[in-house]
């Protein structure tokens, strides 16, 4: 039995010295609210960058259009658990994965992928799948002085041992388990008694994966999943798409509330 840990992928982006960076939470196929939110903040594709915490696909109405953002030079993303489920469903060579993988993806909103069949004859989908398969698990943004990190779920939490710092991440990122980075929810589901907002020595770690009504900050992790897709479906009365704008003075949050299937409602920045 092969128990080897999956290989981790990391990417590094230099600081954006010509425009602004925006980090966005889980999109889940909701392209319309994203488009309206970017218009509201006057996003400039020639200067600004949009960085996603992953989960571009599933549940919402435009998964393929959100996945196609991977072709844009101003767009960057890390691997989310829904991309992982999508790739497992598609299988090697887009010939189909195991029945178990197909059932798992369909259960979490992957029906849209079947509408693209036959996958192996769909050249645009092939290109997007290749891009998705190469997405990093961990993204560091900044030059010598780290500005921030991006991961889908969280860094490993070890309450009794060493905690992650910028330096430790730089020196020992290969020790990370990709499964934790993509799938774990422990940081945002445990009681907050042991979860301070900021952790000494660790720059902001923007993440998503665990939906909530507001942005949450624990141990330098900033969870930006504010339930976008649940606002579109009408399952939540309070739901939003949130863009975080890191800057020299801290992080500004642009929150745009959702109305069921009518996209963006009111917006506010703070």
Active site residue 82: yes
Please answer whether residues 53 and 152 qualify as being in contact, where contact means their C-beta atoms are separated by less than 8 angstroms.
Answer: yes
Q: Among 82, 152, 221, 254, which one carries the catalytic annotation?
A: 82
Q: How far apart are CA 208 and CA 220, in angstroms?
A: 13
193 class by beta-carbon count within 10 Å (0-12 exposed, 13-18 middle, 19+ buried): exposed
From the DSSP assignment, how many helices (H) and strands (E) are in the chain?
Answer: 10, 12
DSSP strands (E only) in the chain: 10-13, 21-24, 49-52, 75-77, 138-142, 146-151, 205-207, 216-218, 221-223, 240-247, 250-259, 263-269
* Residues involved in catalysis: 82
């Amino acid at each position: 039995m092969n128990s080897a840990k999956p290989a981790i992928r990391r990417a590094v982006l230099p600081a954006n010295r010509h425009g602004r960076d925006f980090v966005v939470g889980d999109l889940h196929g909701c392209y319309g609210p994203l488009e309206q939110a970017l218009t509201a903040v006057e996003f400039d594709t020639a200067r600004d960058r949009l960085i996603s915490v992953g989960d571009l696909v599933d549940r919402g109405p435009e998964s393929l259009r959100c996945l196609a953002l991977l072709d844009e030079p101003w767009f960057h993303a890390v691997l989310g658990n829904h991309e992982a489920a999508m790739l497992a469903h598609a299988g090697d060579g887009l010939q189909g994965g195991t029945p178990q993988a197909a059932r798992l993806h369909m259960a979490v909103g992957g029906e849209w992928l079947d509408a693209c069949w036959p996958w192996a004859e769909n050249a645009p989908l092939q290109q997007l799948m290749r891009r998705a398969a190469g997405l990093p698990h961990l993204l560091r943004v900044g030059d010598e002085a780290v500005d921030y990190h991006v991961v889908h779920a969280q860094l490993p939490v070890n309450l009794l041992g060493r905690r992650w710092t910028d330096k430790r991440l730089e020196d020992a990122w290969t020790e990370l388990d990709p499964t934790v980075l993509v799938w774990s929810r422990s940081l945002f589901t445990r009681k907050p008694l042991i979860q301070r907002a900021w952790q000494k020595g660790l720059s902001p770690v923007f993440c998503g994966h665990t939906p909530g009504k507001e942005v949450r900050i624990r141990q330098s992790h900033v969870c930006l999943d504010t339930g976008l897709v649940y606002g579109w479906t009408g399952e939540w009365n309070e739901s939003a798409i949130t863009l975080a704008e890191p800057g020299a003075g801290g992080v500004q949050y642009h929150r745009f509330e959702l109305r069921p299937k009518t996209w963006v409602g009111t917006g506010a920045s703070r």
